[in-house]
Structure 1
Amino acid sequence: MASLTWAVLNSETDKIALLGLKDKLTNGDPHALPSWNHSLHFCQWEGVTCSRHMRVSALQLQNQYWGDILAPSLGNLTFLKEINLTSINLHGEIPREVGHLKRLQILDLRQNNLHGEIPMEMINCSSLEVIILQQNNVTGKVPSWFGSMIQLTHLRLGANHFVGSIPPSLGNLSSLEFLSLVYNHLEGSITPSLGRISNVKFLYFGVNNFSGQVPPSLYNLSNIQDLSLAENQLVDTLHSNLPMVFPNLQFLRCGGNRFTGTFPSSISNLSQLQLFEIAGNDFHGPIPPTLGSLHKLEFFNVAHNRFGSRRADDLDFLSSLQNCTQLQIVGIDNNYLGGILTDLIGNLSSNLVWLSMGSNQISGRIPDGIGKLINLTTLGMEGNSLEGTIPYSIGKLKNLVWLTLGGNNLFGNIPRVIGNLTMLSEVALDSNKFEGVIPFTLGNCTKMERFYANNNNLSGNIPIQTFGYQQGLIELSLHSNSFTGPIPSDLGNLNHLSSLNLQENKQTSEIPIGLSACTALTELTLGRNSFHRNIPSFLGSLLSLEILDLSKNNFSSTIPQELVNLTLLSSLNLSFNHLSGEVPVGGVFNNVTAISLTGNKDLCGGIPQLNFVPCPVSPLQKKHKRSIRKRVILSVAFGGVLITFVTFISIYLLKKKAKKLSITSLALHYGYVKVSYGELHQATNGFSSSNLVGTGNFGTVYRGTLVQFERPVAVKVLNLQTRGASKSFVAECKALGKIKHKNLVNILTCCSSVDYKGNDFKAIVFELMSNGSLETLLHNNTEDSESTNLCLNLIQRPSNVLLDDDIVAHLGDFGLARLVHSSSNQASSSAIKGTIGYIPPEYGAGSSVSIEGDMYSYGILLLEMITGKKPTDSMFGEGVSLHMFGNMAILERITEIVDSRLLIPWSIDKQERRVTRQQNMEECVASFARIGVACSQEIPNQRMSIKDVITELHAIKQKLSC
């Protein structure tokens, strides 16, 4: 009875341990391991095996994606003999508690994300026979105490991050059959002690940093079946009699080292040999013609050596390979093999999938017999001396994925049968003598990723609907031919295109806008053609560009400012065109070693290191700026009053009779001229940054010219990704269509359409206010600046007050539109988007919109014009406001607060600054200040009325006109 109780208690211990393990393995996911619940005995849980004592003896869970850690509770399953937790995305370290599992025989944790070092406590697991930790991120040195685990038969530590050398103690593992240390960072020599593990059959040391010679003791391991020494820095030769020392050898990998010597003819006696790979060494001499005895040979790769002597008999070994009927891979490229390629190539194994013989000195024609190798996926014959045409039999290779024939003397047309090879991914026909056109049948190869036909004699147009079907195309190189005509617009379908090289052809027309969709482009090379018109601004949106070459064409006009946005651009060549105007500053244009602009004689400006002449400045620019400063105060002052009054009355009337109108019928309802996306795109030079006027929360404004209107326009493009932008568009269109006043910016039309990429597009077209905003004049201009920018800016307050040619003020930002279409019957401050500093204080307390509130905003604006200070200036705060600032100095100290530029009556001649009528001017400024203070009183009913403001302004106007 006591023993039964003890068994039950131990059984419960295993259950608790398993539940703790589940919680950590699955990160508490309730849907994972559903069978691990209290309704089933744990011995029936998925992946759990129990012994006859009802104790957990094996834990086997594979191919899940839980992605958590091994809990320490694993160590409580003391009857475990096997742990197999492969490919379940384990993280963390191997828990030290594994050392409690003294019965453990198999530990298989391959294909996870474990890190850290192997815990030393594992030395207690003296029954271990199999340790498999490959394909993790385990670090540290290979533990020397592994040498005490004399039961080990498999030690597989490949594909981790082990460092250091092979511990000599591993030579004690006399039972070891499988040792894998591949794909680590091990170094030093291969320890000779491994010559004692006489039972080993699989020995993998590849892809490390081992150096020195292969220790002679390794040739004592006569049971070796698979030996991998590849990709190290070993210096040695192949043993002269490998069949004697390794009679059971099936796989030999020695590539990527520094082996020397000749090809040992004794290899032909390795009757079990399936794989022979010695590529990337320094072997030389002939390849023996006795390889036909290797009847099991599947893989033969001797590439990148010095085999051959450029003589006619160098290819004789191919005849013997005809007997290797299991052959799948033949790699003989990058050697010194000469001779003529004959039709016997077609007699090689029908199982052949890879035939690579490029970069030799093979001559002759490509034999018709090549069409017999119907299972080929790779055919590489590049860099030889082959001549003649491509045989039509190549069209039978319908499994072909890679075809490389570049760098030969092939001629004639590219055969249409190439379109039969629908599996093609990469085709290299470059540097030959092909002529004619690209066959339209190439469009059938819809899996194409790379196509190279550069440096040939190809001509005609690049066919439409050929490359456009290859939507996975990454590289297209057609340079150095005689192609004519335009770039096919359907190249815009190539979303993955990274490199497009059409340099040195005879192509004309302009760069198609379709290329704007090729956002993955890193290299665009169109030099030495006859492309003309403007360099399109959309190139500035290809943010992945690293190389852009448009040299030696006929491009004209200016360099698009948008190219500054290409932050990854390391090489820009615009030389030898007909470009003019100012060179942009910023981005790649600040790196003189990365750009070439020579041969464009009409360029100017740019950074000084480019040595271009300065760009000319308009002589009227500064004169015009100075003449308007006095006029702006009166214009905005009077216009502002009218705007305030008319806006509020209009809002009141419109709220009573507003009707819902769809955007599609809006233009027709108000008699607007309809415009399309294409017309707006052309009007703004592709929404070029050189046409940019301003940017705000809901959109971006561009200057443009539409044929439907006599004067320039402002195009406000809505950013539809911004919350509320669409509603803002509807509100502005409706409100501005209904409210008409000479001091409101007129809406000319609107556009609701889709852009060239199929995305929704909405824009409003206004009349352009040529003298920009009041904000610009007050805060952005200096008295003597020669380069003052009087551009329109619809966003920065009080930048909604815009100035036309005659310095008449217009209101140009329409938060009032939201008020017009408020859902409530009474205007509510909660529905208004005001601007900090201009909103009257009572709105913050929930008061309704009122004329008194508008008068407050007007007063603040007037004080801002007088003082040159924004209401949000850093000097205000701690109880001091713009209103108080003006009130404190409204009489005797007016000259201390006023913007000094207002007190200087400029003449037409910039050298003459008369100070006559100074006292009269100061009195007028003081009067303006009094009006501003009176309108911005804190209590609404104490503010100056519109009627009194107009009376005062008329009096000031009379005084100024004296």
Structure 2
Amino acid sequence: MDLNRFTGSIPPTIGNLSNLLVLSFAQNNLSGRVPDSIDDLVQLTEFYLDGNNFSVDIPQGLGQWRQLEKMNLSHNSFDGSMPSAIFNISSLSQSLDLSNNYFTGPIPMEVGNLITLGRISISNNRLTGDIPSTLGTCVLLEVLHMEGNFLTGNIPESFVKLKTIKEMDLSRNNLSGKIPEFLASLSSLQPLNLSFNDFEGPTPSSGIFGNSSRVSLKGNHRLCANTPESSLPLCPELGSKGENKSVVLKIVIPIAVSAVVILLLCIVVILLRRRKEEPALQHSSLHIQKIRYEDIAKATNGFSLVNLVGLGSFGAVYKGTLPFEDDPVAIKVFNLNQYGAPKSFVSECEALRNTRHRNLVKVITLCSTVDPTGSDFKALIFQYMHNGSLERWLHPEDHGYDNKRFLSLGERINIALDIAYALDYLHNQCATPVIHCDLKPSNVLLDLEMTAYVSDFGLARFMCTTSTAVPANSTSFANLKGSIGYIPPEYGMGGQISSKGDVYSYGVLLLEMFTGTCPTHEKFIDAMSLHKHVATNFPNGVAEILDPTMLQNDLDGNSEIIQSCVLPMLKLGLSCSMASPRDRLGMAQVSAAILDIKHEFELYSGGISVSDS
């Protein structure tokens, strides 16, 4: 009954056909629940439901079948945990296909019961956790597809037993560790795809790894090679012999000690000078000018509404021109009557004083004085961004703009990469790591070249250098405002502030960039959220949820670009916005993945390249 246009559900009376050997409802439009009566078809040798819209649970009674050799449930809408009953069908010897559904959670350990199975595909689901070591007991396995999930951990050592394996695809997961040497000894293995994971260290050089056309390793930026013939970077040298090390140490240690002493003396001198000077923000490429209240009042035409370009939690932002600046500037005036505003001013000064990155908003100077009434006055002066905020581009109608000029796919990828670079710098490259705590589209600014800059560090927190989390006694959710829709769930439960909180906000922002849907949209009620909305439609239904302007004007039905660029971006957004912090990626890994996606896009778009950020 396959390849028809049947709709509705399978009738329960199907269980009466107890002598059936082959049953196929493939490639129809059937939906609903698979009836429990199907358990009675114990003589089946082949069972096909692929290419429909079945959902809910798979009957547990299937585990009683003892003649079944082939099962295909792919391309449906089955969700929840993978039913362990299927892995108890010990007669499955030819193939099992559960791919392209919505299964979640770990792969059942019972998969090891299928010791005679030849082919298995569980790709393109939402499976998490480690690959079960019991899979290594499937010693007759020839084809293994697990790509497109959220699997973590190492490749199990038990895979060394898969002597008959011919094809293995573990790509597009979050696997890590070193690539096992034993994979090179699997002589039957032809295509091996380990791309877009987080493997590290040297790759094996023998066996299949000696032929680059049979192995795909792209997207693993911590891999290296021991031979120059590989396309991977060479591994660093393991070091010199003992006698060479001792000579080097004799030379290096005195130099290092001298350098440390000189450095300490310089630090002491600098600290003594700073005590005598008024604190001021510094910028490596701008000369800091003293600025008065009168200068700011004049630059903003008396804080005119005409000059007003934005309102925030702690003040207003004006466009203006200062006497010592030829270009317009953005002037952020703090409303010190607002609770938390003075602390926000200090936090932003500290964050900006200690950070330098091309994708962080550039501060020119500050003003901390009193106004004509004798009240405290504080303002920060930034480089003005002519293209406004990302918020304005994603939701132009909400800000009084038309949508004639939209963000192209290439611009979205570049902006996402710019933001990822900025967060990676804040989390991993600052002397004292910084947590932004309020990442959202209105806090991402765009210059004339559409380069993105992360701004508004009023809620920023400095991390302890020994931990990625701020101790609970140093800050709490009570004084962390953030923005609804972008705040990670653990903050709402009193959890510690950590870099993974910024990752969550970034993930939500990424999903918003590609769907054009705000996380606070009125349709997200009860338990529904932007993350769940995308996850429900990923990967087969993404065309229904993508930003229409991008879909109609930029993608134009190009399935290759959707497959190679859009789906990986959405998957990153989903990975970053997972409910549990430990399931989220780090920003270094995210940056590397988006850079790969950008290169893929440039190949598909005719070689038009935008320089790497």
TM-score (norm 1): 0.28
TM-score (norm 2): 0.43
Identify the structure with bigger relative contact order (alpha carbons < 8 Å, sequence gap 6+): 2
The structure in which a higher percent of residues are helix is 2
Structure with the greater alpha carbon radius of gyration:
1
